Amino acid sequence: MGRTFYWYPKCGTCRKAKAWLDEHQISYEPVHLVEHPPSKEELKQIIDKSGLPIKKFFNTSGKKYRELGLKDQLPQLSDDEKLDYLASDGMLIKRPITVDDEHVTVGFHEKTFEETWK
């Protein structure tokens, strides 16, 4: 498997991350996170590989997250239910997510990209 870059083209952070990858000539397969969100199984694999808690994969500043009242619901939900939410709508997923066989980054922090992808 190569490197996959899950992104939303209208997202400024995603565009910055994409520009960084392009500038450093790092190859990736772009996947539009809203049009082609990862399946529940793919998300589980990504989250497991990342070592991060599942809540880090929610776009907590997003409109959809607020509309669904997930801030109050998340603590009571099982991981399986959280995965169902994430797989149901790409707008609920924090972006961008960059993943390869060994690494996962969520969001864009230049230092993290330097350490992980260069």
pLDDT, tens digit only, all 118 positions of the chain: 599 999 999 999 999 999 999 999 999 999 999 999 999 999 999 999 999 999 999 999 999 999 999 999 999 999 999 999 999 999 999 999 999 999 999 999 999 999 999 9
- DSSP for 63-102, please give it: HHHHHTTHHHHGGGS-HHHHHHHHHH-GGGB-S-EEE-SS
Q: Determine phi and psi for 31, rounding to 5 degrees.
A: -130, 120
CATH number listed for the domain at residues 4-117 = 3.40.30.10
Return all residues near 75 (Cβ < 8 A) that are at least 6 apart. none
Annotated domain spans of the chain: 4-117
